[in-house]
Amino acid sequence: MTVLTTLALTTSLVHAQTAWTGGDDLPNNPLACDATAATPAAMPYDGGVPTNPPDRKGKEITVVDVPKLIGIGYFDATSKGIAEAAKEIGTMKATTDGPTKANIDDQITLIDNYITSGVDGILFAANDPVAIAPVLKKALAAGINVVGYDANSEPDARQWFVNQAEFNGIAKSMIDSLAAETGPDASFAIVTSTFTTPNQARWISEMGAYAAKCHPGLKWLETVEAQEDNILSFNQANTLINKYGDDLKGILGMTSVATPAAADAVTQAGKCGSVAVVGLATPNAMKPYVEADCVKSVVLWNPVDLGYAAAYVIRAAADGTLQPGATSVAAGKLGNLSVINGSEILLGAPFVFTKDNIGDFNF
Amino acid sequence: MNWRKLIRHETILAVLVVVALIILGNQSDKFLTVDNLLNQGRLMTEVGLIAIIMTFVIVTGGIDLSVGSILGLVAILLGVFWKDLGLPLPVAIALGLLVGTLAGAVNGLIITRFRVPPLIATLATLALYRGIAEGISQARSVRGYPDWFFVLGQGQVLGVPTQLWILGIVALLATIVLAYTTWGRAAYAIGSNETAARFSGLKVDLTKLAIYSASGFAAALAAVIFVSRVSTTRSDMGTGLELDAITAVVLGGTSIFGGRGTIIGTLLGLVLIQTLKNGLSLAGIKSDGTIVLIGAALILTILLTNIFQRNGNR
């Protein structure tokens, strides 16, 4: 026992230089404080290439979509978009099958089985960028087209990644919305899924950098983990409210589960108006809180469009019309999407839902 | 020859495995291929290692819920020892295995010294070890292991995945120990009647301590293989793994009340679950449907055994 405790202490000391509660250690690139658009630097293609794929040009292909997990509104929406695009394209059969929990091992095993069953294409949203890489590389080696959306893997483990919005763009929308609601000198806390979840970690890291640059008065209290769990998210938000009392002026929700749960906690604590909730979430889940004026801004892209774009991208990759070095790709009703960062396809700028427009969306 | 002696749980299970193999083989021509079967062996190794030692634990009438957390802890420590403390990777692996064994020994001490029921003791350490793992890792992943390390989880020896050899060796040793040594007999005796075992002069506490330590070691070994297979460490590795292992053991015919069970039964249970998971997936059934069918198969197997053995033939 003492050995374990000593171990825990010494090893955590190694990490304990700063009170780190979220984010990753990658370099940040905060956007300008005003609305100046960033100019993306040109980068050579850094994705992978399938080994000796059969000629799939114009032929019917079978594609499996493996999201982080099934049974939550967000990934229901992406798979809806994929199904919609597959129907439009006509030569693509797409099924969605994912783990029932956001579990790295279940997702890897599932993909492994689909490689064996011989699909033409795999769409994925990674639970861990590194852990998923070996199995995706195996798929590429088997000549399967591999395209990611929502949550990336290591670049060389897939051909393309459909990026819903750039991390620094999300960070800017979130922090600007928060500062607008709470004023420039407020304290805030973050409810995320887990510290390792790549997207959330990246957003948090970028938010920290952007806040430091453009809203230096904001005080980041801490980040708490709540998995993708509704009850846990509620409890964590509730704990934050009790722990910081009147100091807490805002809660940022990093997942489509955490944000409505945080809004619910604020509502039940009777803190509407004194604790702002800003977060990533789907409009349907947030409508009650937005209409009750408890939540003013919900940041997101359209996940249906995200799935829709991913389906067009994998079709184009299978046809060979989307080649390394391309600068854009045609994605049906979304028009031409541009290639950024070497092998990513950008869906667009993040969208901020407010009381005025949230009623126009249904997902 | 009493015909009923042939209808043991293991026999029924073996028949079910064969039936499942045939049915699922007919559903997909990708299922009964050497590549796929070997690959499935690769995927079931981590649960398998833990389930084999869990058989001992359950045979003594105990349970070890902390194995998934020990796996997570050792995985994290492996990364920390290697990357943050700068130790050579083989030393980090050895230390990781040592910590896993110690974590198991702590379970054993709490259970034998303080007479805490195994369910409660390991439920507590399930939370404790996972908490330590998360505290140490601060949710940072360790990546960038050298290529030779991946041989363990992704490579093969003589055409068979490396970890399957390890699983085979551990299974063989465990079968011999449980079936043919005094240690094994002591485990059965403790599970059947601990008081009687104590009065017979068996070293009950020492046996239990050894078994829980071995369980920790198995979880640690699984952790090293897991890290090598997925090429990164995360503090949430192995979450829920204890239930997969216990399912395999119980499906294999080991009595949850102790005193009865075999390693071959556990291996058959393991194979049956993996067969169903993989075969149903290849047959085009989605993962949520697969879970339902596996649950149904579990109940069916246990019912079948109960029907055939209802005369109390143990």
The Cα–Cα gap between B31 and B283 comes to 8
Q: Do A130 and B232 touch (CB under 8 A)?
A: yes
What pLDDT is stored for residue B177 in this prediction?
95
Show Cβ contacts of residue B145 under 8 Å, excluding neighbours closer than 6 positions: B82, B89, B227, B228, B231
Tokens 């944000």, located at residue: A259
Which residue out of B227, B281, B293 would a mutagenesis test of the A interface target, given it has the greatest number of A Cβ atoms within 10 Å?
B281
* Residue B147 φ/ψ region, left for φ over 0, alpha for ψ in the -120 to 50 degree band, beta for the rest: alpha
Q: Which of A20, A97, A116 sits opposite B138 (nearest CB)?
A: A20
Q: Which of B229, B110, B231, B242 is nearest to B161 (CA)?
A: B229
List, for residues B234-244, the tens digit of each pLDDT value.
888 888 899 99
Measuring CA to CA, which residue among B69, B235, B90 is closest to residue B151?
B90
Shortest alpha-carbon distance between residue A327 and chain B (Å):
31
| ipTM score | 0.83
Separation CA B164–CA A339 (nearest Å):
43
Which has the higher per-residue pLDDT, A191 or B156? A191
Distance CA A292, CA A273 (A): 11
Looking at the complex, report in whole angstroms how far the Cα of residue A297 sits from the nearest Cα belonging to chain B: 29
**A23 to chain B nearest CA, in Å?**
9
What was the pLDDT predicted at A101?
A: 83
Rounded-to-integer distance, Cα A239 and Cα A231, Å? 12
Is the Cβ–Cβ distance between B265 and B10 less than 8 Å?
yes
Rounded mean pLDDT, A116-128: 93
Contact A105 B99 (CB under 8 A): no
Average pLDDT over residues A121-134: 93
Q: Which residue of B has its CA nearest to A225?
A: B139
Residues of A whose CB is below 8 A from B278: 113, 116
d(CA A258, CA A255): 5
Mean predicted lDDT score pLDDT of chain B: 90
State whether A100 and B291 contact (CB < 8 Å).
yes
Measured between alpha carbons, how far is A211 from A203 in angstroms, rounded to an integer? Answer: 12
Looking at the complex, report in whole angstroms how far the Cα of residue B259 sits from the nearest Cα belonging to chain A.
30
How confident is residue A181, by pLDDT bands cut at 50, 70 and 90? Answer: very high
- A278-292 residue pLDDT tens: 999 988 899 999 999
Are the Cβ atoms of A104 and B80 closer than 8 angstroms? no
- Chain A residues with CB inside 8 Å of B277's CB? 109, 113
For chain A, the average pLDDT equals 88
Residues of A at the B interface (Cβ-Cβ below 8 Å)?
A: 1, 3-4, 7-8, 11-12, 14-15, 20, 22, 24-25, 70-71, 95, 97-101, 103-106, 108-110, 112-114, 116-118, 128, 130-134, 194-196, 201, 225
Q: What is the pLDDT of residue A17?
A: 39
Chain A nearest CA to B141, separation (Å): 7
> What's the pLDDT at A41?
66
Could you tell me which residues come within 8 angstroms of residue B66 by beta carbon, excluding any fewer than 6 positions away? B103, B107, B122, B123, B125, B126, B128, B129, B219, B242
Closest CB to A194: pick one of B39, B236, B281.
B236
Subunit contact B141:A196, Cβ cutoff 8 A: yes
For the cut 50, the answer to whether the pLDDT of residue A18 exceeds it is no
Q: Residue A362 — very low, low, confident or very high, per pLDDT cuts 50/70/90? A: confident
Q: How far apart are CA A169 and CA B314, in angstroms?
A: 66
CB contact under 8 A, A104 and B278: no
Task: Report CB contact under 8 Å: A131, B232.
Answer: yes
Q: Across the interface, do A112 and B43 touch by the CB < 8 Å criterion? A: yes
Reduce the DSSP state of residue B235 to 3 states and report it. Answer: coil
